[in-house]
Chains A and B, each alone.
Chain A
Amino acid sequence: MSIEVSGGRRGLTDPALAAIILAAVPDQPLETQRKMNYFMTPRGKRINEYEVLCCYTQPTPDWIPGGLDWGDWTQKFHGGRPSWSNESTEMRSSDWLKHRDPAFRWHALYVKDKAEEWRYTDRFLRAYSADGHVRSMDPVWRDEVLGDYLGAFGFSEYGLFNSHSSVVRDCLGDTLRMSSAMIGLDKVDNAQMIQMERTFLAKLVPGFPEATDIPKNEWTKGTIFKGSREVVQQIWQETYDWNEILFSGHMVYDPLFGQFVRREFFGRLSSYYGDSLTPFFINQMQLYFSQTKGITTDMFHTCLAADGRFGAYNTRLMQVWANKWLPRTITALKDFMGIFSKIPEIKGVSDKPAIEAALNRVFDDWKHDFADPIGYKTDTAALIKTVLSGLK
């Protein structure tokens, strides 16, 4: 028969083609090693599917630690700057491909989770609206706090999202790149969820403004978010070291400022103002925070701080970066204290002792999860005192 086949004939199902194919197929497999990436060192006992599909996809030469390729770049930037280079970060590593997402999420698992959250969000919003929950919401909380300040916080999330673009371009490892893109997407998802909540409220509450101009004005010109806006801008556009971007955003700013705003302000206070809507979104953001924390602590603690050759140096550098970004974050939190003068005070909830307790929770968590593992010493009580001085 002719070897040129037409009309969409398929070798699997066309008997004439299949007979020729099967006659050519070896009687026994030619290779007994069937595990892809069998040569790699897995994080756990065995190479898992995430490691099979993600690890060593980065085609860097061996002079970028961890790479399996050799030689130079086949095309460089104008002027001769290399495609990827060790100089893109002050951090040092024996193996830039070592990082693992602790949840071992490759793309399919990541989008499956988020798709489920989307479907559940849609069902929740329909139930919430049909049930008339919005009637119980305190109007000042709803129109001023959610309309203006939650909306303004969306810009913080959006700015942090954008800080991941150069990380995705410049970082030196495959799993690092994939994780960075995913935690970046989670940040824009947060910004979009905030807008989604505002649009939803506008559908339920006549006159509720869903437009972004008022919150943007608050973000760009107001005092409550002044410090955070400056930090976000510095992380996003003034920081070139991709590790420093991730460290400043996810190891200092977000675990302190982000956690206080999301968990201790909007998450905790909303129920006191009859708001059962905001916690629904905040809890999704907190899930992302938790997943991101797993990722970035793996990057910085498990991989870089524990690096056999460069761990001590990396740890010192992280301490230097913490020294740089912590005061700015404290200023952001101090500025944010101004928001408490905008809401009706509830004793034991939004008064100074309650705020101080909330700050203690956030700083204790940060110390335990982020500072202690790199031996970073700081007086959290003094920091909290500084933040509280922002209360009007």
Chain B
Amino acid sequence: MAAFASLDTQTADLVPPGKAHLRDSTQDAARALETFLASVERKAFRIAQIALRHEADALDVVQDAMLQLSTRYAARPPEEWRPLFYRILENRVRDVQRRRSVRNRVMAYMPWRGEDQEDAADPIDQAVDRAPLPPAQLESDEAMAALEQAIAGLPARQRQAFLLRNFEGLDVAETAATMKCSQGSVKTHYFRALHALRAKLGEFRT
């Protein structure tokens, strides 16, 4: 909530004296948007990370989605923010995946491919930490890794339906609005995702 101090100062400067009601409503809207973004940012990051399998790309995607919602759709009713935000997020995820696909295709024809390692993951960061973990933590991490890998292997629409419904907790109508499809399609994608995950993981334990 530290952002409010600076935001309040900024909005106070913008609103002339005698227009206190405008300033109050502006502050209320900023506060509502702040609360909303804070409530979705971590789950949004995890959704993007599962789809992209890349931490920095996931952070960029979440940042873009926040920025676009704030600059373009902040005036919309707050109940519309969640579907809008996740639709923007999914579009950004798809953009990154397309860029990667094009880049990989182009790089496949380059004779010097493989020399540019800027985007490659740092092997030190990727190295497995050999320090012993508590058993509960280890099981949890293993369960998360298995689930994440299984979800990432789903078709895009199934992955989207499963994460929005099960993880983010959107209802069918909100999920349909986010995915730009019918509610029946959402239910179908969700069912198939669930079926595929069960087939892959069994009744995994946390």
Say whether A and B bind each other: no
B residues sitting closer than 8 Å to A (CB atoms) are: none
